Amino acid sequence: MISPGKCVIGRNKCLLLARESTRVSIKSLPFLVPIFCFCPLLIGCSQPQPVETTAVRPIKIHTVGSLRPSAIREYPGTIRAYQTAQMGFEVAGRVMEFPVREGDKLSKDDVLARLDARDYEAELNVAQANLAKAQADLARSENTNKALPGAVSRDTVESDIRSAKVYESKLAIAQKAVDDTVLRAPFDGVMARKLVEDFANVQAKEPVLIFQDTSVLEIEVAVPERDFVRRQANVETREQLTERLSPTVIISSLPGREFPAAIKEYATTADPVTRTFAVKLNFDNPDDVNVLPGMTARVRIVVDPQSAWSVPVTAAQADENGQPYVWKVDPASMTVTKSVVQLGELSGDRVMLTGGVEQGDLVAVSGVALLREGMQVRRMAEPETEPQDASKTETVLPEPDEKVDAAKETDSPEAGDQDAAEEGAAAQ
């Protein structure tokens, strides 16, 4: 233990040291005052001068003449030939010859395949002989009746006439059977696929090849009812509907190409399973690329063509004279200038621009109340949105029983206690 006397001595030493340090600091005060006065000058010289900067305002910009993504619909489909025929012989037999190959282009009535026609040619010869005999019997009866009236009964003459007609019909049937042993092209097209091998025995009407006309291609898509109701059935024809929707076909393997299409036909009864309406469109087969039936594609239509030349109502302001104007953006300097425009019809929250702008002009459509002449702006980053794919937009509603069960679980005290316990555990 420390004695009280030692503590007093230690305390006195501390007081003496404190007094000496105070004397030293007071004596050195005249030398420290100039240093403290000079330090703010050094600090002030080391700080950089503030630079005045002009704020660049971010805005949304609309390109006049370009469609909004929400104004476009896309429907997937599969390309088909304009005409497709599964060709088969009308008679049975052995395939003797395929003079054409898959992919060959042919004209109408060109030979596609042949059967062994020997049996049918023999039947044709029999029919010809029978007809010749019947005609000879008829001629003899008529000549005898003319030379000796009453020598041949009238019933015999009429029977010979009927026999001759029957054998004429049989000859025609035998001739058709011989002709049917040769398969000919029904129209100008291409030999798409061979379904049987050479020298195979085939039955009558059995498909042996597929013949297609690919000069014009066809695609069938399923249109949901929410888009199908846009058509004015009592007013628009197929030609007018094609002109308004401007349908184009985009091949999956050629994403950068669009081919104009025309509406061929459409169903007025919905599919019982998908609740969609089938629409068929035609488009010309391009010469520079090889587009074939079976390829996947999608049809793009414009459901709101006026959106290309319209802007939000808030983007059009009025000056002191009551003249409507918009803020145009210079793409080079990204500065805005006031431009007087002519307004058209109002559609929802957008208004048409009928004058004062040209295709490709950039127009500010947001924050226009804060813009000034010559102000520099930048395009606001917007999320990239693809055209709506109608086949992927489905709404699934829960069953009524599921709604009741969910409500019971939410309102039950056990559910509330469980939620409170989970919150308490998360807080800990």
Identify the CA nearest to 380 among candidates 57, 55, 59. Answer: 59
Q: Is the dihedral of CA 66, 69, 71, 72 positive or negative?
A: positive
% of the chain with per-residue pLDDT over 90: 49
Say which DSSP state 30 is in.
Answer: H
Q: Which fold has domain 88-208?
A: OB fold (Dihydrolipoamide Acetyltransferase, E2P) (2.40.50)
> Mean of the pLDDT values across residues 181-205?
95
Q: Which fold has domain 73-81+212-305?
A: Elongation Factor Tu (Ef-tu); domain 3 (2.40.30)
pLDDT digits (tens, 9 = 90+) for 112-129: 999 999 999 999 999 999
Domain ranges of the chain: 73-81+212-305, 88-208, 307-382
With respect to CATH, is domain 307-382 assigned 2.40.420.20? yes
Q: Would you say residue 407 has pLDDT above 80? A: no
% of the chain with per-residue pLDDT over 70: 75
- Secondary structure of 197-241 as H, E, C letters: CCCCEECCCCEEEEEEEEEEEEEEEEEEHHHHCCCCCCCCCHHHH
pLDDT digits (tens, 9 = 90+) for 226-281: 888 766 556 678 888 888 889 999 999 998 899 999 999 999 899 999 999 999 99
Buried b (16+ CB within 10 A) or exposed e, 355-368: ebbeeebbbbbbbb
Cα distances from 395 to residues 226, 247, 390, 426, in angstroms, run 12, 26, 12, 35
Q: Which residue type, as a one-letter code, is found at position 422?
A: E
Report the distance separating Cα 118 and Cα 77, nearest Å: 47
